[in-house]
Structure 1
Amino acid sequence: MNKQKHLNLQARILIETMLNEHHSFKSIARELGKDCTTISKEIKAHICFEKTGALGRSFNDCRVAFLHQCSLQKFCQHCAYSNNKPCWTCGRCTSSCISYEKYICPKLSKPPYVCNGCQQRTRCSLEKRLYKASYAQKEYEQVRSESRSGFALSEAELKQLDDVVSPLLKKGQSLHHIAVHHADELMKSERTLYTYTNNGLFTARNIDMPRTIRMRPRKNVSSKLKVDKSCRIGRDFQCFENYMAEHPDVSVRQLDSVEGVKGGAVLLTIHFVEQQLQLAFLRRHNDSPSVLDIFDRLYFELRMDIFIELFPVLLADNGSEFSNPSAIELNAQGNSRTRMFYCNPSAPYQKGSCENNHELIRRIIPKGTDLGRYSQEQIDLMMSHINSYSRKKLGNKSPYEVFEFQYGRKILDAFHLQKIPADEIILSPELLK
């Protein structure tokens, strides 16, 4: 038995090669000296999705089109120029066709869960799920890097440090002076205290240190540092599934961030899964305090009972901005106001509803756009248009209408959302110009 704990690139190349040759999990595991469940987990954890067509056929994952039961013609502008060919032949109809229904190959629900080695692969126009050694290795290295980043600091330890450092900083004392005279209490080096202060972990900010604002910031210093490296303990996706199994009637709100330019302003999005309603809040920095400020403001504006009803469970990714769950879960008095869980690393599909809704945001604010140029009022206007857009999943109702029916209009007013008439909805960059 191979005693090496982690798979390396050579092992992953062997897995990919043997999958292409139709080998079973057991034979691959035997070759690597691993358990077959290790191979299964490795493949399912690193599936690469490719939207590619087949020989002579464009990509199209619509069930009706795949079964050749679609007879629509000239449904969109592109099809209007074709010679009376069915819409599904162009491969662009899925974004606008009202009959679109995603179809997933039933073979993918069984081992090996990927299209490697499938004899129909070159003739299939559906979305491909592949295991690629290079892609799997890259994802593995990214997860390993994220797991080793951040601060090995609990909430209680952070509060203890803050109670000592912040009052003295605000009195004009330097961190060197504080570190020297409170060494036994802090048990942290001066350099560590500077790092905590510059990343906004303390109540006092670096602007409270007179000399700091005159110094040029160092280059290549990552600001994506986690407040608590142990934040996922008891809050991982398995815990989320267990909690939802015990509380099946509880609603889930999915959290994510939408970035503009690197290091610039970002959006915090809160997605109501059942209603498909999404909120967006502008943040000047992608850090944990900015997320906490938004939830504290919502808690204050909505009142405790409404907040608890609207946000019973939160599901976020592993971004550093969500790494202070205790502060989000508890109010100022230490009482619970919500529950927070995390998706598995590199698994955005576990909150796919939120990710899909971001496509509408990108129609209005394309990738690479500096979000700092917009105000919160403009963001609210954008979300009003998006939430007024009818969805087939909601019976051709808009998220605004469904949410209003369930929770009332006053809450929508508190979210600064308004109903946009159907013919006046704009989902293009022209909206914010």
Structure 2
Amino acid sequence: MKNNQKHLTLSERIIIEQSLNEGKSLKSIANQLHKDPTTISKEVRKHRTIKLRKDTSRIIKCDNSKECNIKHLCSKANCNDLCKNCSKYINCRMICKDYKPKTCGKLNKAPYVCNNCKSLGSCTYERWIYVAKYSDDCYHELLSSSREGINQMPEDIQKLDTLISPLIKKGQSLSHIYANHKTDICCSRRTLYKYIDRQLFSAKNIDLPRKVKYKPRKSGTNSRNISRNYRIGRTYDDFNKFLENSPEISVVEMDTVEGQKGGKVLLTLLFRKSTFMLAFLMDNKTQQCVNNVFSMLVQRLGVKVFKRLFPVILTDNGSEFQDPKSIEYGQNKDKLTNVFYCDSNCSWQKGMIEKNHEYIRFIVPKGRSFDMYNKNDITLMINNINSTARDSLNGSTPFQLSQMLLDNSLHKKLSLQEIAPDNVVLKPTLLK
């Protein structure tokens, strides 16, 4: 049965070379590889190469020797003999610019190469052989070079630019744009990045937030002698054991985002299953402010809804979170949730919320104060972030998944609304 795979592998090319050296016919090689004989024939003729002789002075006949009338290639001014008849300069390859080596007639028929030729020792023609490694290198070089350049008409590039550049300048990611305009875009996202990198669009690399390199994080040098009693029974190992007993339970990651030191901060909560994030503006980075946010949530959502939405909370060891009982228990001493802590210097253990903070920094760059914003500004920002399509969600938005996985009263009672795809803005201009 013939193999319809178009491309030969290196292993198959090695078999071709070995078979040619053994004198096998192209048809028998094709049967061995389950290929069509024309495939083998084309492969050999396309990738055969000249084998250089060790003796460079060896005479190889010129293809034009019979009609050649060239004279005076030597330094003798009074010589009128034809150069091809000269005993001193009979090796035309060394001195004649019109030299063309004569080819063997056997190369015009199968197997088209000299791999198993019996006359190689006395042959005066150029030797053409098939080498598997050389053939495979030529194949990969062609495969790479054929994909270089722009495979688009100028009018198609202009059409893509008109669609994509205005959305990028709003702060939208290519993932978000591609998810909502996939039918209008005639190439892959990887190709779009290449077009932007080659400056074919009015949007530039600087308009893509993730093209900006992250600065290396500074490692802390001061250690404080802090009581770790709050972590007893709430470590990351305890968290994993809790999930083993309740694998279907929903997990919420918690963290804070600072503006300027001493100013307002954001308390962020992220639902793992949907990547849906909440953010609340706090006056200070203190335990009391955190407790106030949770009291507000219990009051607005009700105890039953709160328990259903926040059964498990995973956070870091920040001083603002070191009063877990105030978060876990309500005013009536009824247990509302379970708080667990990541290991020290292991932010990857709640990596989803750490990564999601990137979207906040698109709108409020690091170092800018939150003091100038109010609750409505933060709600607007979160609505735009949650309406951004994600690769990790297969092109869906966190808002869309939250409507299926979370209690819908959450959206209504916290004034959370979905933003139309083309109206999403992830730039500082959103809050101006």
**Partner Cα distance (2:210, 2:393) in 1:** 17
* Residue aligning to 1:290: 289
**Partner Cα distance (1:282, 1:293) in 2:** 11
**Partner Cα distance (2:428, 2:337) in 1:** 35
* Residue aligning to 1:333: 332
Distance change >3 Å, CA 249–CA 74, structure 1 → 2:
closer
Distance change >3 Å, CA 260–CA 91, structure 1 → 2:
closer
Distance change >3 Å, CA 76–CA 235, structure 1 → 2:
same
* Residue aligning to 1:80: 198
Distance change >3 Å, CA 259–CA 419, structure 1 → 2:
same
**Partner Cα distance (2:237, 2:372) in 1:** 39
**Partner Cα distance (2:393, 2:197) in 1:** 27
> Is the contact between residue 74 and residue 80 of structure 1 (CA under 8 Å) also seen in structure 2?
no
Distance change >3 Å, CA 236–CA 365, structure 1 → 2:
same
1:28-67 counterparts in 2 under 5 A?
none
Unaligned runs of 5+ in 2: 1-187
* Residue aligning to 1:399: 398
Distance change >3 Å, CA 409–CA 335, structure 1 → 2:
closer
TM-score normalised by structure 1 residue count: 0.51
How many Å apart are 1:73 and its aligned residue?
3.8
**Partner Cα distance (1:291, 1:71) in 2:** 41
Query: In the comparison of the two structures, how many residue pairs are matched?
Result: 240
Distance change >3 Å, CA 79–CA 269, structure 1 → 2:
same
Distance change >3 Å, CA 77–CA 337, structure 1 → 2:
same
* Residue aligning to 1:420: 419
> Is the contact between residue 328 and residue 338 of structure 1 (CA under 8 Å) also seen in structure 2?
yes
How many Å apart are 1:74 and its aligned residue?
4.9
Residue 315 in structure 1 maps to residue 314 in structure 2? yes
> Is the contact between residue 73 and residue 79 of structure 1 (CA under 8 Å) also seen in structure 2?
no
* Residue aligning to 2:376: 377
The Cα offsets for residues 357-397 of structure 1, whole Å up to 9 and x where unpaired, read as 00000000000111011001100000000001111222211
Percent identity between the two aligned chains: 34
SS at 2:252 equivalent: strand
> Is the contact between residue 305 and residue 407 of structure 2 (CA under 8 Å) also seen in structure 1?
no
TM-score normalised by structure 2 residue count: 0.52
* Residue aligning to 1:302: 301
> Is the contact between residue 309 and residue 407 of structure 2 (CA under 8 Å) also seen in structure 1?
no
Amino acid at match of 1:287: T
* Residue aligning to 2:32: none
Residue 274 in structure 1 maps to residue 273 in structure 2? yes
Distance change >3 Å, CA 371–CA 416, structure 1 → 2:
same
* Residue aligning to 1:247: 246
1:132-211 counterparts in 2 under 5 A?
142=222, 145-146=223-224, 148-149=225-226
The Cα offsets for residues 283-327 of structure 1, whole Å up to 9 and x where unpaired, read as 010000000011011011111110000000000100001011001
Unaligned runs of 5+ in 1: 1-69, 83-89, 97-126, 130-134, 153-228
> Is the contact between residue 254 and residue 315 of structure 2 (CA under 8 Å) also seen in structure 1?
yes
Which runs of 4 or more aligned residues in structure 1 lie more than 4 Å from their structure 2 counterparts after TM superposition?
90-96
SS at 1:356 equivalent: helix
* Residue aligning to 2:180: none
**Partner Cα distance (1:422, 1:95) in 2:** 20
* Residue aligning to 1:259: 258
**Partner Cα distance (1:403, 1:270) in 2:** 13
How many Å apart are 1:234 and its aligned residue?
0.9
Distance change >3 Å, CA 71–CA 367, structure 1 → 2:
closer
SS at 2:388 equivalent: coil
**Partner Cα distance (2:278, 2:408) in 1:** 15
**Partner Cα distance (1:385, 1:92) in 2:** 18
SS at 1:238 equivalent: helix
- State the Cα RMSD in Å: 3.0
- Higher Cα Rg, which structure: 2
> Is the contact between residue 254 and residue 269 of structure 2 (CA under 8 Å) also seen in structure 1?
yes
Distance change >3 Å, CA 71–CA 347, structure 1 → 2:
closer
